[in-house]
Amino acid sequence: AWVASRAGQVVIALKDPAAQDSLKRAVAKKAVELVKSGMVLGLGTGSTSQFFIEELGILLSQNKLKDVECVATSYQSRVLSRQFGVKTLDLNDVNHIDIAFDGADEVDSSMNLIKGGGAAHTMEKVVDSIAKQCVILVDETKVVKTLGLTFPVPVEVLPFALAPVLRALAALGGQPEIRTALRKDGPVMTDLGNMVVDVRFSEGVKNPAELERKINMIPGVVENGLFINVAHTVLVGTKDGDETSV
C-alpha cells in the first residue's frame, strides 16, 4: 500500500502502531526499487530508514544489487547497515551521492519537511541536500497542511550556548523545550555532542523558509529540522493502496 505524491491529501490517522510500521515497511520496499548497482546512497535515521536499510540488505544478499556504497547519517544507521550487510563510507570519502533515502516527521504539500525526531537532522540535512535525488519515505500520518502544528521544530544547539539560544528562540515566537531522554535524568545528546531543543509554534510554521533561515542565524544553533526545497520525491504509504504519480 503506497502512493507517490506531492502530498496535500487527506490524512487518515492510524491508531495501530503495527499498521503504521507495515506502511513504513511497504514504502521502504517500494523505495529500494529505485536503487541501481554501483550507486552511492545516503541513508537517513529512524524506523522508516531502518526498514529501508533492511530491504536494501536483502537485495544485496540476493545479488540483485551490487557495489552499492552508503553514507549513514547517524551511528544508529551505521550499525544497522553493518548488521544488514550494507557497506558504509565516511561522507568525506565520496564525491557524490546519487540518492538519499530518508524519513520525516511531517511533510506539507510543497514537500517541505520537519525532521529531527531522531536527533539526526544536522547530518541528514547535509546528506539530503547534496544528493542528486532526495527521496523521502513517510506513512500517511506524516502528511500535514501546515508544518509544526503537531510536531515541534527540532533545533540542534551547542551546549555552551543553550541559555541565549533558548531566549532567542522564544523571541521568534516559539516555546522551546530541551529534549530529555525517556529516563528524564538528562538531555538527549546528538551524535555530534550537542543538545536538541524542540520548539513549538502555537499556530504552526507560517513561513517555513523564513523560519529555517532565522533559526539558523542564531549564534550557537548548529542546524534546525526544517528542510525546505530539499526533497525531490515523497513516497507516502497509505492504507487504501492507491497509487498516483508525483
CB of 60 to ligand 5RP, least distance (A): 21
Closer by beta carbon to ligand 5RP, 62 or else 139: 139
All cell numbers assigned to 54:
533492511
Closer by beta carbon to ligand 5RP, 105 or else 140: 105
The residues with which 138 forms a beta bridge, in sequence order, are: 236
> How far apart, in whole angstroms, are the C-alpha atoms of residue 30 and residue 47?
16
CB of 143 to ligand 5RP, least distance (A): 13
> Among residues 241, 242, 233, 193, which one has the least CA distance to residue 102?
233
Closer by beta carbon to ligand 5RP, 98 or else 139: 139
> Does residue 148 bind ligand 5RP (CB under 6 A)?
no
Residues 92-121 that bind ligand 5RP (CB under 6 A): 102-105, 115-121
203 catalytically annotated = no
The string over 167-197, giving b where at least 16 C-beta atoms fall within 10 Å of a residue's C-beta and e elsewhere, is: ebbeeeebebeebeeeeeeeebebbeebbbb
| Strand ranges inside 128-201, DSSP E | 133-139, 153-157, 175-178, 195-200
SS3 234: strand
CB of 188 to ligand 5RP, least distance (A): 11
Binding characters for ligand 5RP, 29-58, by CB under 6 A (x = yes): ---------------xxxxx----------
CB of 67 to ligand 5RP, least distance (A): 26
> How far apart, in whole angstroms, are the C-alpha atoms of residue 151 and residue 153?
7
Query: Catalytic residue among 55, 106, 124, 212, which?
Result: 124
Q: Which residues bind ligand 5RP (CB under 6 A)?
A: 44-48, 102-105, 115-121, 124
Positions marked catalytic = 124
